[in-house]
């Protein structure tokens, strides 16, 4: 499970996401789909999803929390 991610885009902008900060519920990298998916929890019942195409990413650094079964 990804805990924190920093994405440097080819247009030189940098985006930081951290699970639990600003409503971020989960962070996932889908290599087959070519996307980074950021899911936000909403106050309502709906959710907000941000999709970042990997083709626009110059550099990506992330930290993972070990799963309880891995420890």
**Residue 54, pLDDT score:** 95
**Residue 65, pLDDT score:** 81
**Residue 45, pLDDT score:** 67
**Residue 68, pLDDT score:** 61
Largest CA distance in the chain: 39
Grouping H, G, I as helix, E, B as strand and the rest as coil, residue 65 is coil
Are 9 and 57 in contact by the 8 Å Cβ rule? The answer is yes
Radius of gyration from C-alpha coordinates of the chain:
13
Give the span between the Cα atoms of 25 and 48, in whole angstroms: 10
**Residue 69, pLDDT score:** 59
**Residue 1, pLDDT score:** 81
Are 10 and 58 in contact by the 8 Å Cβ rule? The answer is yes
**Residue 8, pLDDT score:** 96
What are the average pLDDT values for consecutive 10-residue runs of the chain, which has 71 residues? 94 94 93 95 80 95 76 50
């Amino acid at each position: 499970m990804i805990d924190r991610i920093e994405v440097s885009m080819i247009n030189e902008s940098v985006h930081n996401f951290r699970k639990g900060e600003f409503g971020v519920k989960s962070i996932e990298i889908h290599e087959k789909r070519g996307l980074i998916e950021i899911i936000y929890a909403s106050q309502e019942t709906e959710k907000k999803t941000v999709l970042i195409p990997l083709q626009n990413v110059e550099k990506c650094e992330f930290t993972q929390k070990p799963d309880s079964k891995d420890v």
